[in-house]
Structure 1
Amino acid sequence: MPTFEYQAYDRAGQMVRSASAADSMRQLRRELIERGLFVTDVREIRPRSPRRRWLSPRIRLADLSLLMRQLAILVNSGMALEEALRLVSDQTEQPVQKQALESWREGVASGYSFSASLKKSSFAISERVVAAIGVAEETGHLHKVLTRVADELEEGNDNRQTLMKGLIYPAVMIVVAIAVIGVMVGYVVPQVAKVFVNARQELPLLTRATIALSDFLRVFGLPLLGLVAASVTGFWLSLRNPARRLRWHRFLLSAPLIGNWLLLAALADWCRSMGTLLHSGVPVLSALSISAAGVSNRHLRQRLEAVGEKVRQGNSLFQSLKAEPLMPGFMLHMVSSGESSSELDTMLIRVSDYYSTRLKNTVDTLLKLLEPALVVFMGLVVLLIVGAVLVPIVKMNQLI
């Protein structure tokens, strides 16, 4: 659904400048007139191109969460939004945060709503954040929604940190292990091998295999490293193709262990986003569209968009989710209970909390098991290399 920026005057003659989503410009004009506004200008807000969004300055999720929480406290205390933005801007020491706050404050001071100021800003802000704040401004519960938005951003950042810890830490350990083994095989073993060659004695199988591996790495090591780097670069460049990226994202969700982590993190973020939007007063169809757009995995996003289309056709959210094989049973049960009790937003937040906790516990448990396993593996490999060097030396000493 497109978003339009409009300028109008109310019955008191005050100018109103804001933004709103509608099926068409004509429909928005009709809705504004029914609200008693005299419309002077309506124009569609064009979405940023991918390149421009990539170049747009960004605020870290943790920092944005803190800013929203500070604004919620100040607004709840009775302070005007413009003054709250000015105060938070004066207190922050981060240049990016200060620039963002000043751009938002200038928009509010010019007559725009806070949500419209966020959307107009050059800083990339999630559409679900803008939508939730926009509805909150209309209902008069801005401080409550700002607090919920801060909670959502904080939880999303925690899930990302947990996921990155589970993926990066083992990768670093493996790279270090390969580097240590490579130095021993590529440098230490060749130095010792010269002694064995001069001795002209038959070497044990383990020693011959280690020397052969060392010779192979010295000759083909750099070309192999270049080939691996070129292959990885070519693979990532190929993911620019939407069809290939969709297949890759589908494979990631089906991959052992990692697929479960990615699904838990994505569903936790989606459920919290849906719960926050619904609690803020955003209609279900709009909430489904906005929350699905925030899912990074293309395959899961496609399935959630299909869920939104089924709901648009008249099906319940539970029935629409149940038709998708990816959706876990626990989430389906909670959604069904939420629809039956008219507490869907609360149930979705609980699902998000459960999946976030489950993801953190799973990653922590795996890392506790993986670290000693990698240490034992490195120890065994080093032991084999040392054995390949020491066994022939001991035999040579026995012959002397």
Structure 2
Amino acid sequence: MPQYEYNGYDKAGARVSGSITAESLSAAQQLLKKQGLLLKSVKEEQLNQQAALFSTDKIGIADIEFLTAELSLLLDSGLKIDKGIELLKSANKKPSLARLLNKISTELRSGKQLSQVLAGFPDYFDALYINLVSIGEKTGQLSDVFRQLASDLAFRRDLQKKISQALTYPMVILLVCIASVVFIFNYVVPNMATMFERQQDLPFYTTLLLSTSAWLQQYQLILLIVLVLLGVLVVQGRKRPAFQRRWQWLAIRIPVVSSAVLQVERIRFNGGLAMMLQAGVAVDQALDLANGNIKQAELRAEMQIAIGKIKRG
């Protein structure tokens, strides 16, 4: 359904703006009037598809961390959650984050709880985040929950940065190696091939080297196209559950990758469990919720068996 941008005034006379999803313009106007808004303008949101395709204005973990930390501060100062989000929306200069806040603000004004609204954006808020927000709403400690979540997001952001830095050097070395091999087979080996044109009974490895060079020169463009297509298929396939399951199964069986995956999953589980216990959640429920924070399906299933044994004593 299309998105509609609106401007108007609420019952208190304060100016409000945002976006709403509706089947038509008239349906959007009726929904907004039911919320008690005096409308100034309502128009369909125009999206630039070309700009969206190449845009780098994406919401990352740093943006969610900033949003969470700011909400904690605003709630500590006595501001209500809906007013806090309105304030952040008006002060934020990043278009993608402003649009997200717009949608959250609109859903909140329709009477939904914050945890219910955030559940509608799984790309930005995971199950642990939503569960903790729900607990904070029930216990009245939402500002404390946001503070813990902001700290956890900061830790995850630093971890991602360290992993990226650790992978940068091996990737550079790999690219240099590939470039060197391509250069050798395209320029060095062909120039040396003239030395062996009239010789018979060449060693097997020399014949293999010359044949590989000739094959690469003839088919390297096709090989490059195939590799690019495979890369595109992998990027697109990452969003499909079947591909994710196969990759997860493979990742925990590759010697070097498996240790990194296990370490990250331990951090996710232990970090989630610590925050749940700090929020006052019972141990059995905290274990279940923290287990949902594990991404690897196979590890999550094994952990569920262990949790079942713990519950049985």
TM-score (norm 2): 0.66
> Residue 102 of structure 1 corresponds to which residue in structure 2?
102
Evaluate the alpha carbon distance shift between residue 161 and residue 125 of structure 1 in structure 2; reply closer, same or farther with a 3 A threshold: same
Q: Which has the higher contact order (CA 8 A, sep 6+)?
A: 1
> Residue 264 of structure 1 corresponds to which residue in structure 2?
263
Matches of 2:239 and 2:175, distance apart in 1: 24
Deviation of 1:168 after TM superposition, in Å, equals 5.8
- Opposite residue 156 of structure 2, the aligned amino acid is G
Evaluate the alpha carbon distance shift between residue 230 and residue 107 of structure 1 in structure 2; reply closer, same or farther with a 3 A threshold: closer
Deviation of 1:134 after TM superposition, in Å, equals 1.5
Matches of 1:214 and 1:120, distance apart in 2: 54
> Residue 116 of structure 1 corresponds to which residue in structure 2?
116
Matches of 1:229 and 1:110, distance apart in 2: 46
Deviation of 1:213 after TM superposition, in Å, equals 3.8
Evaluate the alpha carbon distance shift between residue 106 and residue 246 of structure 1 in structure 2; reply closer, same or farther with a 3 A threshold: closer
Evaluate the alpha carbon distance shift between residue 89 and residue 245 of structure 1 in structure 2; reply closer, same or farther with a 3 A threshold: closer
1:290 correspondence with 2:289: yes
Evaluate the alpha carbon distance shift between residue 157 and residue 305 of structure 1 in structure 2; reply closer, same or farther with a 3 A threshold: farther
Matches of 1:122 and 1:207, distance apart in 2: 56
TM-score (norm 1): 0.53
The within-5 A match list for 1:1-400 is 59-120=59-120, 124-167=124-167, 169-191=169-191, 193-194=193-194, 196=195, 210-219=209-218, 221=220, 242=242, 246=245, 248-311=247-310, 313-315=311-313
Residue 64 of structure 2 contacts residue 124 of structure 2 at CA under 8 Å; is this kept in 1? no
User: 1:256-285 CA distances to partner (integer Å, 9 max, x unpaired)?
Assistant: 222111111111011111211221233334
Residue 71 of structure 1 contacts residue 84 of structure 1 at CA under 8 Å; is this kept in 2? yes
Matches of 2:285 and 2:269, distance apart in 1: 14
Matches of 2:65 and 2:214, distance apart in 1: 55
Residue 159 of structure 1 contacts residue 265 of structure 1 at CA under 8 Å; is this kept in 2? no
User: 1:20-61 CA distances to partner (integer Å, 9 max, x unpaired)?
Assistant: xxxxxxxxxxxxxxxxxxxxxxxxxxxxxxxxxxxxx98322
- Opposite residue 173 of structure 1, the aligned amino acid is I
- Opposite residue 297 of structure 2, the aligned amino acid is R
Deviation of 1:208 after TM superposition, in Å, equals 6.8
Matches of 1:305 and 1:165, distance apart in 2: 33
Residue 68 of structure 2 contacts residue 147 of structure 2 at CA under 8 Å; is this kept in 1? yes
Residue 58 of structure 1 contacts residue 124 of structure 1 at CA under 8 Å; is this kept in 2? no
Residue 71 of structure 1 contacts residue 85 of structure 1 at CA under 8 Å; is this kept in 2? yes
Matches of 2:59 and 2:241, distance apart in 1: 28
**Identity rate, percent:** 23
Deviation of 1:222 after TM superposition, in Å, equals 5.0
Evaluate the alpha carbon distance shift between residue 122 and residue 171 of structure 1 in structure 2; reply closer, same or farther with a 3 A threshold: closer
> Residue 51 of structure 1 corresponds to which residue in structure 2?
none
Deviation of 1:231 after TM superposition, in Å, equals 7.5
Evaluate the alpha carbon distance shift between residue 193 and residue 87 of structure 1 in structure 2; reply closer, same or farther with a 3 A threshold: same
Evaluate the alpha carbon distance shift between residue 220 and residue 103 of structure 1 in structure 2; reply closer, same or farther with a 3 A threshold: closer
Which blocks of at least 5 consecutive residues in structure 1 are unaligned? 1-56, 316-400
User: 1:344-383 CA distances to partner (integer Å, 9 max, x unpaired)?
Assistant: xxxxxxxxxxxxxxxxxxxxxxxxxxxxxxxxxxxxxxxx
Evaluate the alpha carbon distance shift between residue 187 and residue 159 of structure 1 in structure 2; reply closer, same or farther with a 3 A threshold: same
Matches of 2:91 and 2:146, distance apart in 1: 19
Deviation of 1:112 after TM superposition, in Å, equals 3.1
Which blocks of at least 5 consecutive residues in structure 2 are unaligned? 1-56
Deviation of 1:291 after TM superposition, in Å, equals 2.6
User: 1:130-157 CA distances to partner (integer Å, 9 max, x unpaired)?
Assistant: 1111111222222111010111122223
Q: Find the residue that maps to 1:257 and give its secondary structure.
A: helix
Q: Find the residue that maps to 1:295 and give its secondary structure.
A: coil
Evaluate the alpha carbon distance shift between residue 160 and residue 83 of structure 1 in structure 2; reply closer, same or farther with a 3 A threshold: same
Matches of 1:84 and 1:143, distance apart in 2: 12
User: 1:283-314 CA distances to partner (integer Å, 9 max, x unpaired)?
Assistant: 33433333322322221122222233334x43
Evaluate the alpha carbon distance shift between residue 138 and residue 152 of structure 1 in structure 2; reply closer, same or farther with a 3 A threshold: same
Aligned residues: 254
Residue 131 of structure 1 contacts residue 282 of structure 1 at CA under 8 Å; is this kept in 2? no
Matches of 1:213 and 1:300, distance apart in 2: 43
Deviation of 1:66 after TM superposition, in Å, equals 0.9
Deviation of 1:64 after TM superposition, in Å, equals 0.3
Evaluate the alpha carbon distance shift between residue 87 and residue 255 of structure 1 in structure 2; reply closer, same or farther with a 3 A threshold: same
Matches of 2:226 and 2:112, distance apart in 1: 54
- Bigger Cα Rg: 1
Matches of 2:296 and 2:190, distance apart in 1: 47
- Opposite residue 314 of structure 1, the aligned amino acid is R
Q: Find the residue that maps to 1:71 and give its secondary structure.
A: helix
RMSD (Å) for aligned C-alpha atoms: 3.7
> Residue 45 of structure 1 corresponds to which residue in structure 2?
none
